[in-house]
A and B are shown apart, each in its own frame.
Chain A
Amino acid sequence: KAGVTQTPRYLIKTRGQQVTLSCSPISGHRSVSWYQQTPGQGLQFLFEYFSETQRNKGNFPGRFSGRQFSNSRSEMNVSTLELGDSALYLCASSPTQGSGKQYFGPGTRLTVT
């Protein structure tokens, strides 16, 4: 089976812009979780989607949002970008809801200037 794919792999944006990141889970996996990884804060949970519904949400401002499509592919959007949003954004897929076995993609490196 193909692994989790994320596009784009690298992105440079300026403050105030918005960005959309995409994640395609492993075939058959219905859960997609998003994480932000930074050197200072480590891996922080953003949200989880299962069967097109947001099931869990981390402590991030409303500028961070996501959605999941009927084919389980997911997108996350960050509006009004801030310098502090520069990070590696990781998507993880799982066959089940919750924090069972999660398989991570390679991430999207977002740089905000």
Chain B
Amino acid sequence: QQQVKQSPQSLIVQKGGIPIINCAYENTAFDYFPWYQQFPGKGPALLIAIRPDVSEKKEGRFTISFNKSAKQFSLHIMDSQPGDSATYFCAAGGSNYKLTFGKGTLLTVNP
């Protein structure tokens, strides 16, 4: 019940495109859903996070959509840029739960 499934494993888009990364979780007690961005040689950096009381959250070009009934959430990157090329991880957790991470999505944004 602790798994977080992330798809796709890799994604290639053109500059200006809108990559979408999807995640599904199992534990209905999870109440915190962050996304992390990781560049080669660096640790993951918190990008944006959402709680289940809202269905969407935007921060700059990054948007999380959350569907509580389906136990799914996704990351959309608007007007993607080559500098967005990185590995993206979704995660799920809560105050009494460790963070469980998806396996990651390698995003490549071509110029």
Contacts and interface: CB of A to CB of B under 8 A. Distances in A.
Contacts, number: 56
B46 A100 contact: no
A99 B103 CA distance: 18
A102 B38 CA distance: 14
A107 interface: yes
Interface residues of A, number: 23
Contacts of B32: 99-100
Given A43-B89, A90-B43, A107-B43, A102 B101 contact: no
Contacts of A4: 43
Given A4-B43, A33-B98, A42 B49 contact: no
In the A-B complex, the 4 residue pairs with the closest CB atoms: A99-B93, A104-B43, A99-B99, A43-B101
Interface of A: 4, 33, 35, 42-45, 48, 56, 58, 90, 92, 97-107
